[in-house]
Amino acid sequence: MRVFIVAAVITRSQQCIVTISCDSGWTGIPDVRYDEAGSSGDGGGGGDDDEDGISFLKLFNSLLYSFCLKSGEHDVVKWRAVLQNSFLYVEVPHGEIAPGGKECFVSLLEYAEEHLDCTHIFVGLLKEREDRVSLMRTFMFMGFETVKPGHELCPDSPHFIFMAYTIE
Q: Name the more confident of 137 and 56.
A: 137
Average pLDDT score over residue span 75-90 = 84
Q: Is residue 45 classed as helix, strand or coil in its secondary structure?
A: coil
Reply yes or no on whether the pLDDT at 130 is more than 70: yes
What is the rounded average pLDDT for all residues in the chain?
71
Q: Give the mean pLDDT of 67-90.
A: 79
Give residue 107's pLDDT: 81
Question: What's the average model confidence in pLDDT over 70-76?
Answer: 66
Nearest to 107 by CA among 79, 129, 86, 85: 79
Task: Assess whether pLDDT exceeds 90 at residue 48.
Answer: no
- pLDDT of the residue at 66: 78
pTM confidence score: 0.69
pLDDT tops 50 at residue 5:
no
pLDDT for residue 144 is more than 70: yes
Q: Which of 112, 165, 167, 110 is nearest to 138 (CA)?
A: 165
Instruction: Report all structural domains of the chain as residue ranges with CATH numbers, in order of start.
Output: 2-25+56-166 (3.40.630.60)
**Each residue's pLDDT tens digit, 14-23:** 455 665 543 3
The predicted pLDDT at position 1 comes to 32
59/31 Cα distance (integer angstroms): 13
Rounded mean pLDDT, 132-150: 94
Alpha-helical runs (H) found in 10-162: 101-114, 132-141
pLDDT band, residue 85 (cuts 50/70/90) = confident
